Amino acid sequence: MNAENNSASIMNSEVAAPKKMPFHKYKPFQPVALKDRTWPDQVISKAPRWCSVDLRDGNQALIEPMSPDEKLKMYKLLLEIGFTEIEVGFPAASQTDFDFVRLIIEENLIPDGVTIQVLCQAREELIARTCEAVAGAKQVIFHLYNSTSTLQRRVVFNMSREEVIRLATDATEMVKTHTRGLVAAGTDLTLEYSPESYTATELDFAVEICDAVMKVWQPTVEHKMILNLPSTVEMATPNIYADQVEWFIRNLPEREKAVISLHTHNDRGTGVAASELGLMAGADRIEGTLFGNGERTGNLDIITMAMNMFSQGIDPGLYLSDMPKIVAVSEECTKIPIHIRQPYAGELVFTAFSGSHQDAIRKGMNHVQSGSDGQWEVPYLPIDPADVGGSYRETVRVNSQSGKGGVAFILESYFGVSLPRPMLVEFSPVIQKASEADGGELKPDVIWDTFLKEFIEVEGPYRLLSYKVNSEDGREKCAATIKVGDNEIEVQGEGNGPIDAFIAAMVETLNEPLNVVDYQEYALNEGSEAQAICIIALTDDKGDRFYGVGLSENTTTAAFASIIAAINRKWR
């Protein structure tokens, strides 16, 4: 056995069998027997009623809960975004929450048309305290909840179905009693009831307890109550949650007197999908937080769900165009950084490093800017970054994985320089080499500096010191002073134009032919800062091509500088 085979044999003998996870500990979630489900055929066509729970559910999930100033800052941000329903706290459970609710009421910080929501457990002393907190508010959602799941009834509360229903209905009666004074004083009060852990509750029992609560509260079609169906712990695929929602709606008596609300968590990573499918299943209202902050893996990410609708041409009902501000305030108040890949808001979500992606984005952007039908159709960009306060320039960033399309995009979008394709093919490996040497991303300024050194400020034997151009008998004559090494040489030539005359002068000096095979000239910037850029390609007697670039406020100077740069690159 040779050394190579022996080495392979040793490696193979040391590879252990793959270990297995203890999957037998877990039971699969049973699907809902709903053979004629209709939600898969539905299409989301309008935004739901949104309710932010950042100040309650989101705040409870923080390592360091928000200070009063931070809560107020977040509250003002939610108002700016356009939320008209905001769960502002759990006033019976926290003095800080109680004080905050009193602050926004007493300081008249609740705009007309905005409803505050407060959470409360099904206990009389907590209900009374909550009513004390919201006294004087114009519009209030009293959010009452108790756990209904099979597991918690058995393990936590040791209560029967009947006992849990009595707990919920007694608490509802208490809410009616304690809120009579509020209603008499002019508060528009809505009851929201949540059978907590709805996804782990038998569907018939969930309907039974919600129906019992409705019978006590006595909502009407004109003044509905809210039935909130929490996926307190996400336990199955989102299609099963949609089945649970559709089953509930089908079997709920007097469904027309209830607003069906959803409150999904993200334990399986599909909180957004569950809410979207639940909306398709007939729900009316969605609770969640900015960027999905919440207990364990978080709540529904309202921004993602709303922006998903926006990307489909649906008014999301929320103003999310100043995404940088939303990110900044959220990070300041929660002390949780937004991930760079966070949908619609992360630093890199519109960014392409891949060469083929960059080329497609560049062509797509050119198509949109050329005056298409007004619809956004750019490969790899589901929305226009400008719609969320970003810039199309940020969509392409260059590293060692990038190609000529990325280089072209950076030069065009940041510096207004459009290079001919053969020049891009030549410049792209230069950038790739620089990126590999640097080991990371090349910023636009570095790419520009590399471009300058490669095509403009080209080290070589020739330097233009001065020139004069005159017209005689329809011909252009050029006299120039060229520095060659340590010597200054006077050259002369004539031609059909200044460039032709200068080329003739240089050919006489070099004693070899030079032909102009590509020439571009256009303005960079506008007004007093305008410069001309000249891109020229020369070929020698062997047919080899050499590009050079000149920049100057004077177009003739820019052209002559590009010729010198091209010749220096030939000799380099």
Q: What is the pLDDT of residue 405?
A: 73
| Rg for the chain, CA atoms, rounded | 35
Give the pLDDT mean for 65-87: 97
Q: What is the pLDDT of residue 414?
A: 85
Tens digits of residue pLDDT in 349-376:
887 776 677 778 778 887 887 766 778 8
Tokens of 58: 């989101």
Q: What is the pLDDT of residue 232?
A: 93
Structure letter (DSSP) for residue 265: B
Tens digits of residue pLDDT in 274-300:
999 999 999 999 999 999 999 999 999
Q: Evaluate if residue 487 carries a pLDDT over 60.
A: yes
Q: Evaluate if residue 108 carries a pLDDT over 90.
A: yes
Q: What is the pLDDT of residue 85?
A: 98
Tens digits of residue pLDDT in 146-180:
999 888 888 888 889 999 999 999 999 999 999 99
The C-alpha atoms of residue 247 and residue 33 are separated, in whole angstroms, by: 9
The C-alpha atoms of residue 263 and residue 114 are separated, in whole angstroms, by: 20
Give Cα 245 distance to the centre of its chain: 29
Q: Evaluate if residue 252 carries a pLDDT over 90.
A: yes
Q: Evaluate if residue 5 carries a pLDDT over 90.
A: no
How confident is residue 477, by pLDDT bands cut at 50, 70 and 90? very high
Q: Evaluate if residue 428 carries a pLDDT over 90.
A: no
How confident is residue 413, by pLDDT bands cut at 50, 70 and 90? confident
State the average pLDDT for the chain.
Answer: 91
Higher pLDDT, 190 or 158: 190
**Is there a contact between 336 and 58 (Cβ–Cβ < 8 Å)?**
no
- Residue carrying structure tokens 């898969």: 40
Q: What is the pLDDT of residue 485?
A: 85
Q: For the chain, give the percent of residues with pLDDT over 90.
A: 67
**Beta partners for residue 468, in sequence order:** 479
Q: Could you tell me where the DSSP H helices lie in 439-478?
A: 444-451
**Is there a contact between 295 and 288 (Cβ–Cβ < 8 Å)?**
no
Give the pLDDT mean for 483-491: 90
**Beta partners for residue 352, in sequence order:** 396
How confident is residue 511, by pLDDT bands cut at 50, 70 and 90? confident
Q: What is the pLDDT of residue 379?
A: 86
How confident is residue 392, by pLDDT bands cut at 50, 70 and 90? low
- Nearest CA to 285 among 47, 24, 535? 47
HSE (side-chain half, CA atoms, 13 Å) at 384: 11
Q: What is the pLDDT of residue 395?
A: 66
The C-alpha atoms of residue 551 and residue 555 are separated, in whole angstroms, by: 8
HSE (side-chain half, CA atoms, 13 Å) at 258: 29
Q: What is the pLDDT of residue 572?
A: 80
Domains of the chain: 47-334 (3.20.20.70), 355-456 (no CATH), 462-571 (3.30.160.270)
**Is there a contact between 301 and 287 (Cβ–Cβ < 8 Å)?**
no
